[in-house]
Structure 1
Amino acid sequence: MGFFRDLFSKKVTSETLKAALEGVEKNRKERHLELKKLSIRQNRLVDQAKEARKKRREVELDGLWQEIKHLRMEIGIVQREIKKLNLEAIGLKRYIWGLERLEKENNREGIRTLLNRIRSSKLDVKLAAHDLKEREYLEELAMTLEEAGLGFEWEDIEEEDPLKEGFLKNLDSIIEAEEAGDKEKAKEKEELLKLRLEEGGEDELLMEEEERKEMET
């Protein structure tokens, strides 16, 4: 079965979906930590390969390259898992919004229509596709809500943006250092944040300072 088909194969309420969302969020955090560990390991291997190259240790270099290639595959798998979890979370948040609205109105017919439409949807097919296309998934998601009489009001729910969340946490950390009078620390944090933005380091932005320190130990 698929994520949504399995979840909606039994009796579902908004509370059921909230519990499922907690599980998805937990898995997503674990995958981000795993990705960070793999990235750190890959960077260390690159440093070792650079030294081996300088000293012309070809056998060692060949071994390091094989490890790097394997890690690149692992990183790709984890990145895809994170993307899938992101889309699952978006779907759950929108269905929670829809079900809570219908439950408040005591609209049993609307609830039944929504659940049946989700069960017959192609959401799991979209998620299982090797070439996971976010736009197609979101379009299918919107149709399930529209056909249940829930023309999705985008302004009623905040779009999920984990990168923005990480960015704001970093800004708060900079402001906190400034307000504490530690201008040097604030400047260091600001320069580091700018560097991550320039390099497109999304995973770094998502990591809080404590998590980054944990990964580096």
Structure 2
Amino acid sequence: MKIVDFLLKLVRGPKVSVEEVEEATKAAQEKRRRLFRQMRVLARRRRRLLERAKKARKQGDNMEIDFVWEELKGLRTEAALLRKDARVAMLEELTLKRVGRTMKRLQKVGDEGRIKDVIHRLIESGIIAKIGQEQMSEDAYAEQLDAVLSYATETVAEDTEEDEEKAKFVEELDAIIDAEERGDKEEAKKRVKRLEEAVEKGLGEEEE
């Protein structure tokens, strides 16, 4: 089920369920992980094919080179489709996580009545349609998504500072895990360092 259809199903029901959103988030997460696993398999196949091509070139085996070249072209098309699907799954997971977190905040302050309004606003904003637009970066999408969902807490009592700090901590953990699962070691390392510095700064402030 597409994410827009899922959200419409939620708001048309008698009551919006956080549990349903969490289940959908887990499904999107598993789909993303499966797609990234498939991408890693393709990367290994590509490396093996390149080794075969190198060996064939050394031996002057042009027939083998032609065969490997055709295989690589097919692999390139397959990888492009997988990357697109993985990106969509990643942004769908991000969207569901943010929606679930917003719902919990509204429930916490006893303002569940606004949940459907928030989801309607999200659907009507058109932001979800941008999930399939490859020219939009993940960071830009997340920024626009947060801007839309911030409406939910404009008139709601602010969470405690500790809750906000924990939410940012968990969000950064998710980003680190995502980077590791994508195989982006540099991004993961950068985020780990940033998280360590943030935690150290927070602890230092508490000791003063």
Is TM-score (shorter-chain normalized) higher than 0.5? yes
CA contact (8 A) 2:179 2:187 kept: no
Alignment of 1:14-93 (within 5 A): 14-93=18-97
Is 1:119 equivalent to 2:129 in the alignment? no
CA contact (8 A) 1:110 1:149 kept: no
SS at match of 1:147: helix
CA contact (8 A) 1:121 1:140 kept: no
Alignment gaps of 5+ in structure 2? 11-15, 189-208
Count of residue pairs the alignment pairs up: 173
The equivalent of 1:165 in structure 2 is: 177
- Deviations 1:154-200 (Å, cap 9, x if unpaired)? 6424225567338999xxxxxxxxxxxxxxxxxxxxxxxxxx95xx5
Alignment CA distance shift 1:201-1:95 (3 Å): closer
Alignment CA distance shift 1:163-1:66 (3 Å): farther
Alignment of 1:163-202 (within 5 A): 164-165=176-177, 197=185
Alignment CA distance shift 1:119-1:35 (3 Å): same
The equivalent of 1:182 in structure 2 is: none
- Deviations 1:104-129 (Å, cap 9, x if unpaired)? 32314421321211221222221021
- Runs of 4+ in structure 1 over 6 Å off: 151-154, 166-169
Alignment gaps of 5+ in structure 1? 170-195, 203-217
With 115-124 and 34-43 compared, the bigger mean Cα shift is at 115-124
**Partners of 1:70 and 1:27 in 2: how far apart?**
23
Taking every aligned residue pair, what percent have the same amino acid on both sides?
25
Alignment CA distance shift 1:201-1:75 (3 Å): farther
- The AA in structure 2 aligned to 1:56 is G
The equivalent of 1:99 in structure 2 is: 103
User: How many angstroms does 1:82 deviate by?
Assistant: 2.1
Alignment CA distance shift 1:58-1:163 (3 Å): farther
Larger relative helix fraction: 2
Give the TM-score, by structure 1 length. 0.68
